[in-house]
Homo-oligomer: A and B are copies of this chain.
Amino acid sequence: MDRAAIPNVLAERYATAPMRDLWSAEGRIILEREYWIAVMKAQRELGLPIPSEAIESYERVKGEVNLGSIMERERVTRHDVKARIEEFNDLAGQEHIHKGLTSRDLTENVEQLQVYRALLETRRKAIASLQALAERARQWRDLVITGRTHNVAAQTTTFGKRLSMFGEEFLMQCQSLEDLIERYAARGLKGAVGTQLDQLSLFEGDTAKVEALEARVVQHLGIGHRLKNVGQVYPRSADFQVVSVLCGLASSPGDFAKTLRLMAGHELASEGFAKGQVGSSAMPHKMNSRSCERINGFHTLLKGYVTMASGLAGDQWNEGDVSCSVVRRVMLPDSFFAMDGLLETFLVVLSQMDAYPAVIDRENTYYLPFLMSTTFLMEAVGQGVGRETAHEVIKEHAVAAVMALRQGEISQNDLLDRLAQDSRLGISLERLQQLLEEGRERCGNAQAQVDAFAQEVEAWVARYPEAGGYRPGAIL
C-alpha cells in the first residue's frame, strides 16, 4: 500500500483481532491453502495419484504469504485465483492443487468458511454479553426505578428487570443466531454450473467417489450441512440470512444503549468511565454516553448492510453471475466488523456502567404519588366513599399538583398533603404515606423475572463455557 492507503475503518478502529484475522488477505490465503491441502488429501485417499511428499511440501509453505508477489502475478494473469495457485505451487515446488476444481469450488467454500467462523466468533461474544448482562441484572435486581412508557413515568419496576427485558430480547436473537449456525450449509464441490461435471470428469464418472470427496471436504470445513443443488454459486439469500440475523442480534444492545442514554440524561445511570477517569475536567458533570451512542451507530450500519444483502437476494440470473462480487467483498466483512465492534463496545459498557440510587430514589419520590392514585382510590372506596366522588377528588388534586409543579409554584410533589386535607376523601396523611411506602417497593414479579433470565443465561454459558471467560479489551 502506498502513502495514501485507506484502511477499513471498521476493522482497524473497532473490530478485534480474531475477527480481523479471519477477513484479512493473509488470513484468507491461509484458509484457501488449508482447503487445497484438505482436497488433495481426500483425493489421494480416493485414489488420485498425488504423492504424500507433494502434500507435505504444500503443508510446509502454507504460512508463507507474500501479498506483493501474488499481486504481481495477478497483474500478469489477470485472474486472481490463478495467481494464488501459481504462487502456492511455486512455493511448494509442486503442481497438485486445484485438480478438478473450478474457481468457485475454491472461493465459495472458503468464503462460507469465513462466514461460518465469523458466526461462531460472534456467538462467543454474544454469550459473553449475555453473561455480563445477567450479572448486572442480578446486581440491580431489587433497585426500584420508575418504569416509563412514552418516556413518561408509568409504574415502578426494578433496574434489574429493565436489564432482563433487554436480556430476553437478546436471548431471542441468540436463538435465531443458533438456528442459523445449526442449519448453515456449504456449497461443496459442484463445478462450473453446479452439476459436478468437472468432479465427475476427474473421477471418470464415479459418482460415489465424487460424493466421498465432497463429504470429506465439507467435513474439513466443519460446516454441518451440504447443499445439493446449486449453480455456479450458492444462493445469495444465504448471505441475507446471515446479515439479517446479525442485525437482529444488534437490536437488544441497541435498545439497551438507547435507554441508557435516556437514563444518563436524567442522571439515573451512566455508561461509566474506564477506571481512573473522571469525565471532562472542565465539566465534570458531563458523562457523555459515547459508547452507547456508538452501539446505536453500529446498528445503523448493520441496517444498511441488510439492505445491501437484500439487494442480492432474488437476483440470480440463470446459474449465476458476479454482480454480487463487489457487494459481498464489502458487505460480508463489514457486517461482521460492525457486529464485532458493537459487541465489544457493549461488553465494555456492561463492565463500566453505573447506577445512581440517590437520584433514582429522588425520581421515584417525585412520581410515586401520581403512580399510586389508583391505590388511593381503592382505599377511599374501601372506606365507604363513593367511587365517582373519590375519582373526582383525586383527579382534581392530581391535576392541581401537576400544574403547580410545572408552573413552579411547588418543587416537590405535594399530592399527599392535598388529599389528606380534603375531607371528602377521609384518608389521613399517615395512611397515605403508609400506602405510598408499601407501593414504593411493589414491582410485581420483577425480581422473579430477573432470576428467570439469569437462569436461562446460565444454561447458555454452560453450553458454551469458552464464551464465559471472554473479557473485552480497551476501546477508543
Contacts and interface: CB of A to CB of B under 8 A. Distances in A.
Number of chain copies forming the complex: 4
A24 interface: yes
A420 interface: no
Contact of A356 (B252, B261, B407): B407
Given A4-B20, A150-B322, 16 more contacts: A1-B12, A148-B317, A148-B319, A151-B265, A152-B288, A152-B289, A153-B286, A162-B318, A172-B183, A172-B241, A283-B373, A294-B322, A297-B326, A304-B307, A357-B408, A362-B408
Interface residues of A, number: 171
A331 interface: yes
6 contacts: A147-B231, A151-B261, A154-B319, A157-B319, A172-B238, A326-B341
Given A282-B374, A399-B278, A147 B318 contact: yes
Given A6-B333, A154-B286, A370-B284, A314 B250 contact: yes
A258 B299 CA distance: 18
A165 B26 CA distance: 33
A64 interface: no
Contacts of A283: 154, 370-371, 373, 398
A147 B318 CA distance: 7
Interface in A139-192: 147-157, 161-162, 164-165, 167-169, 172-173, 175-176, 179-180, 183, 185, 191-192
Contacts of A149: 192-193, 231-232, 288, 318-321
A238 B329 CA distance: 28
Interface string A20-51: 11011111000000000000000000000000
Given A195-B449, A255-B316, A402-B285, A173 B237 contact: yes
A435 interface: no
Interface string A268-304: 0000000000110111111111100110111111011
A305 interface: yes
A194 interface: yes
Given A194-B157, A284-B402, A319-B165, A247 B7 contact: no
A315 B259 CA distance: 9
Given A300-B312, A326-B294, A359-B406, A5 B12 contact: yes
List the 5 closest pairs (A to B, CB-CB), nearest first: A254-B314, A358-B408, A195-B444, A237-B251, A304-B308
Contact of A258 (B165, B310, B317, B411): B317
Contacts of A8: 6-9
A60 interface: no
Contacts of A7: 1, 5-8
A255 B236 CA distance: 10
Interface centre among A196, A232, A304, A317 (most CB of B within 10 A): A304
Contacts of A279: 399
A330 B334 contact: yes
Interface string A222-245: 000001111110011110110010
A327 B325 CA distance: 23
A237 B169 contact: yes
B317 A248 contact: no
A120 interface: no
Nearest to A173: B237
A421 B325 CA distance: 42
Interface string A409-445: 1010000000000000000000000000000001111
A155 B238 contact: no
Contact of A237 (B248, B323, B446): B248
